[in-house]
Amino acid sequence: MRSPSATGRTPRIIVAAALYFGIVFALGFALAFPRELLLKPQLGQTGAVLLELPVMLIASWLVCGHLIRRFAVPPRPVARLAMGGGALGLLLGAELMLSVFVFDRTLAEHLHTYRELASQLGLAAQCVFGLMPLIRMRAQANHSPSERA
């Protein structure tokens, strides 16, 4: 049987995951326009993605840390993976929905885009995004308690 405190954390982890997804997705959506209109014509798709990825990963680090503190997500692997996995699932689902409903692709066509290097780099970054709460937990273990989060 679960303890009341463990059960009470579950909704907070779900909210943290949803906000983590929403904030980072909104930033990625906003950066898509300059990437496609300004960077892609000059650098190609892969070059544009390579410039955008560090921005997205730094944003993920900062947003993740803020939400971990705000919602007191415990420094336990299960809790951190639940937050990151939930956010990653929402992100991949949103990407699929955009691909199908906005870009009029079939599921097979969407999956076929992952044959391109730029899409593979994006997927790798999305996996790091999903692991970020756990990565932050590991980083916290190397710092003093006053620096944690």
- Give the phi and the psi of residue 78 in degrees, each rounded to 5: -65, -45
Whole-number average pLDDT of the chain? 91
Instruction: State the pLDDT at residue 8.
Output: 64
Residues 6+ apart with CB under 8 A from 56: 24, 27, 28, 31, 125, 129
The tokens for 79 are 């809790």
Report residue 1's pLDDT band, with 50, 70 and 90 as the boundaries. Answer: very low
pLDDT for 24-73, tens place per residue?
Answer: 999 999 999 999 999 999 999 999 999 999 999 999 999 999 999 999 99
Unique residue bearing structure tokens 């932050």: 136
Q: What is the C-alpha separation between 63 and 51, in angstroms, rounded? A: 19
Does 91 have pLDDT greater than 90?
Answer: yes
Report residue 80's pLDDT band, with 50, 70 and 90 as the boundaries. Answer: very high
Kind and range of the H or E run holding 131: helix 117-140
The tokens for 127 are 């996996």
Q: Please state the rounded mean pLDDT for residues 119-133.
A: 98
First to last CA, the chain: 29
Q: Please state the rounded mean pLDDT for residues 78-84.
A: 97
